[in-house]
A and B are shown apart, each in its own frame.
Chain A
Amino acid sequence: MTGDAPASTPAIVEAGPLVTRVQRLLVEQGGEPQTFKGMVTVRIARTRVHDAVRRLKEEGFDLLSDVFGMDWLTFPRHSGPRFSVLYNLYSIRANERIFLRIDLDDGEEIVTITDLWPGASFMEREVYDMFGVTFTGHPDLRKLLTPEDLEGHPHRKDFPLGETPTLFNDGRFLDPAAFRAGLIGKSRGLTGWVGGARKGVVSEQVERVKATKRVQVPTIEKRDVDGSKDSE
């Protein structure tokens, strides 16, 4: 499975008897099967999710293994919508597995399948949390893993890794970039005071803390980075 556009005529790919049968059903409704290393993924239209999953359940897929998201933002040569949501379904009796893939853009919604599988609740919440995809009809669509005050969706490709400023209880911030700058002597040290914040209220907080003078801004002495030539 790649992010590229599929072949022009969707053909049923080779698979076990159950997956072959349901592929026919899905292709009739405009599904596009793909296979890679024996794994069958059928791309279906966003609006058909609930119907398709219900059909698969009736056909004998009794375990909803997972629901998860994908962000194709930096995938090479990708064309089409930015996000995908994949459904991983398994049939215990037939011992076969199928993936459903739905492509969608930012802001588009999917109908929840929690009425078919209550176990989809956490999975959809995780997708909502990590990618910002909304599931309509979900009974309790809240963030699952990240803190309430974290803005953004961490698994999006444009969300930076390890660059989230840390907020402490007394109103101090530790800004990673500034912290590193302090360590190599490029700035005055733990200058979390100028960094961005989760809620974007740094400057106010900084001013308030500075005014009270409760916390001293620690300064790290400039290391002799540039001056190394002198000693040689």
Chain B
Amino acid sequence: MTLGSGGGGNVMVVSEEHGPFDTKHMRINVGPQHPSTHGVLRLVVDLDGERIVHIVPHIGYLHTGFEKTMEHRTYQQCVTYSNRMDYLHGFGHDLAYVEGVERLMDAQVPIRAHRVRVILNELNRIASHLVFFGTGILDMGALTLFFYTMREREQILDLFEQVCGVRMNYGYFRVGGLYRDIPEGFEERVRAFVDGFPKMMDQYATMFMKNDIFVSRTKGVGLIDAETALAYGLTGPSLRASGVPLDFRKAQPYARYDDYDFDVVTSDAGDAFARFEVRFREMRESLRIVEQALDMLEPGPVQDPDRRISLPPRHELEESMEAVIFHFKLVTEGFHPPSGAVYVPTESARGELGYYLVSDGGSMPYRVKVRVPSLINLQSLEPACKGGLFADMVVNIASLDPVLGDVDK
């Protein structure tokens, strides 16, 4: 504890924590309450002067045991839990989960439900990237821009509120479709957003990409080449920023993503700037998808009529005893998928997201394993930070975009 010269109130010196203590290096502790760690991420950093020699993430402060809890809930009830992991891209988690169960049940999801899911998922991706930008540049000391990105995010959250009544933690998707159809006038509101957003994006382009301070803080910082990225299991926009065009929306289309015309955005630089830039350009692609999905949106049912998984329509409950029984059984007991395991990889705002679901034939999953992108992406922090400046570590954390709920599950 005598080595202490550690900066402000949030940084403190820790002694014997891990491994032998090297007196040449200074070991300091960052977080878990540090504002720039995007949640409760704790890092133990070994410094040689200003250079990072070694960095060890300590996680689990937000561990909630979602996977274990889901083993004790019916398949439909689990939708409540999935979106609470990655609270910034909840629809992505919901989609990944219901896609998995639908694969298990061979459900025939109506095309309108797919379109609505894609619209919401892509809007959510934009909202998630907006938070990424706002907080990312906030970490570099610019508070104002945070409010700009929050302004647009607010518009998106308002749209979500109209659809499912809440702004986060949606639980709107059902196995086999949607909770209900989108409200009247929703399409026009989305269209208004889609028309207005590119103008804001141009504003951001000036504010971020041409901002001298931002560029000099991120260009050439936190280099991760493609080989290292793959070795560390990096996926998502961060991997695409290293030049690997892996996007599961294109590679293994789910939710009818193959109907839409969009590009996989990549960059070869592999630095923090590229990771920001890829996400920035990705927002335009998401917007393109939303636009096309709106054009393709046609009236129709939003729930698989299969009585194994879907509740009977309300009017039938008043006429048919069977309908009442089906309703009761589905609500209290749930449905029984065949014994087996499925994994559907999806592209979340952070990377490869998939639910490995094991069914034993019962009404609750026997095992749920979520391949959460943030947890595995976080390991790339070490190659990105090693040899770099301590001040750049904050930029690297921001550019990898971890959501700690997604890290800790």
Interface residues of A (CB under 8 A from B): 1-2, 36-37, 39, 41, 62-66, 68, 70-71, 74-76, 86, 88, 90, 92, 95, 97, 99, 117-123, 126, 140, 143-147, 154-155, 159, 161
Partner of A36, one of B231, B340, B360: B340
Residues of chain B lying within 8 A (CB to CB) of residue A121: 379
Contact A63 B379 (CB under 8 A): no
Contact A64 B342 (CB under 8 A): no
Contact A117 B231 (CB under 8 A): yes
Contact A118 B251 (CB under 8 A): no
Asked whether B358 is an interface residue with its Cβ less than 8 Å from the other chain, the reply is: yes
Partner of B63, one of A2, A75, A122, A145: A145
Residues of chain A lying within 8 A (CB to CB) of residue B168: none
Interface residues of B (CB under 8 A from A): 56, 59-60, 63, 65, 67-69, 71-72, 103-104, 230-235, 244, 246, 251-252, 339-343, 345, 352, 354, 356, 358, 360-361, 366-367, 369, 371, 375-376, 378-380, 408-409
Contact B233 A63 (CB under 8 A): yes
Residues of chain B lying within 8 A (CB to CB) of residue A76: 339, 360-361
Which single residue of chain A is at the shortest CB-CB distance from B65? A154
Contact B65 A1 (CB under 8 A): no
Contact B233 A64 (CB under 8 A): yes
Interchain CA distance A14-B234 in the complex, whole Å: 29
For the complex formed, measure the closest distance between the CB of B34 and the CB atoms of chain A, giving whole angstroms: 20
Residues of chain A lying within 8 A (CB to CB) of residue B366: 74-75
Contact B340 A37 (CB under 8 A): yes
Interchain CA distance A140-B379 in the complex, whole Å: 13
Interchain CA distance A2-B56 in the complex, whole Å: 38
Contact B376 A68 (CB under 8 A): no
Residues of chain A lying within 8 A (CB to CB) of residue B354: 65-66
Q: Across the A-B interface, give the 5 residue pairs with the lowest CB-CB distance, nearest first.
A: A119-B233, A145-B60, A119-B232, A145-B63, A36-B340
Residues of chain B lying within 8 A (CB to CB) of residue A95: 251-252
Residues of chain A lying within 8 A (CB to CB) of residue B67: 155
Residues of chain A lying within 8 A (CB to CB) of residue B358: 1, 70
Partner of B68, one of A63, A65, A120, A154: A154
Contact B339 A119 (CB under 8 A): no
Contact B360 A92 (CB under 8 A): no
A37-B103, A76-B361, A161-B68 known; 6 new pairs, CB 8 Å cut-off, are A37-B342, A97-B345, A117-B231, A119-B234, A120-B233, A143-B60
For the complex formed, measure the closest distance between the CB of B260 and the CB atoms of chain A, giving whole angstroms: 18
Contact A144 B59 (CB under 8 A): yes
Residues of chain B lying within 8 A (CB to CB) of residue A39: 341-343
For the complex formed, measure the closest distance between the CB of B1 and the CB atoms of chain A, giving whole angstroms: 21
Contact A63 B230 (CB under 8 A): yes
Interchain CA distance A145-B375 in the complex, whole Å: 10
Partner of A118, one of B63, B72, B232: B232
Interchain CA distance A88-B69 in the complex, whole Å: 23
Residues of chain B lying within 8 A (CB to CB) of residue A120: 233
For the complex formed, measure the closest distance between the CB of A95 and the CB atoms of chain B, giving whole angstroms: 5
Contact A161 B60 (CB under 8 A): no
Contact A75 B376 (CB under 8 A): no
Contact B376 A88 (CB under 8 A): no
Which single residue of chain A is at the shortest CB-CB distance from B367? A70
Residues of chain B lying within 8 A (CB to CB) of residue A140: 56
Residues of chain A lying within 8 A (CB to CB) of residue B59: 144-145
Given contacts A1-B340, A122-B379, A161-B69, contact A37 B104 (CB under 8 A): yes
Partner of A65, one of B60, B367, B371, B379: B371
Contact B230 A62 (CB under 8 A): yes
Which single residue of chain B is at the shortest CB-CB distance from A155? B68
Given contacts A37-B104, A117-B231, contact A145 B408 (CB under 8 A): yes
Residues of chain A lying within 8 A (CB to CB) of residue B360: 75-76
Contact B340 A2 (CB under 8 A): yes
Interchain CA distance A54-B371 in the complex, whole Å: 22
Task: Name 10 interchain pairs, CB-CB below 8 A, sorted by A.
Answer: A63-B246, A88-B343, A90-B352, A92-B251, A95-B252, A97-B345, A119-B233, A120-B233, A140-B56, A145-B59
Contact A119 B369 (CB under 8 A): no
Residues of chain B lying within 8 A (CB to CB) of residue A63: 230, 233, 235, 246
Interchain CA distance A172-B104 in the complex, whole Å: 46
For the complex formed, measure the closest distance between the CB of A72 and the CB atoms of chain B, giving whole angstroms: 9
Contact B60 A117 (CB under 8 A): no
Contact B340 A123 (CB under 8 A): no
Residues of chain A lying within 8 A (CB to CB) of residue B252: 95
Interchain CA distance A66-B408 in the complex, whole Å: 15
Residues of chain A lying within 8 A (CB to CB) of residue B340: 1-2, 36-37
Which single residue of chain B is at the shortest CB-CB distance from A99? B343
For the complex formed, measure the closest distance between the CB of A107 and the CB atoms of chain B, giving whole angstroms: 21
Which single residue of chain A is at the shortest CB-CB distance from B246? A92
Which single residue of chain B is at the shortest CB-CB distance from A156? B68
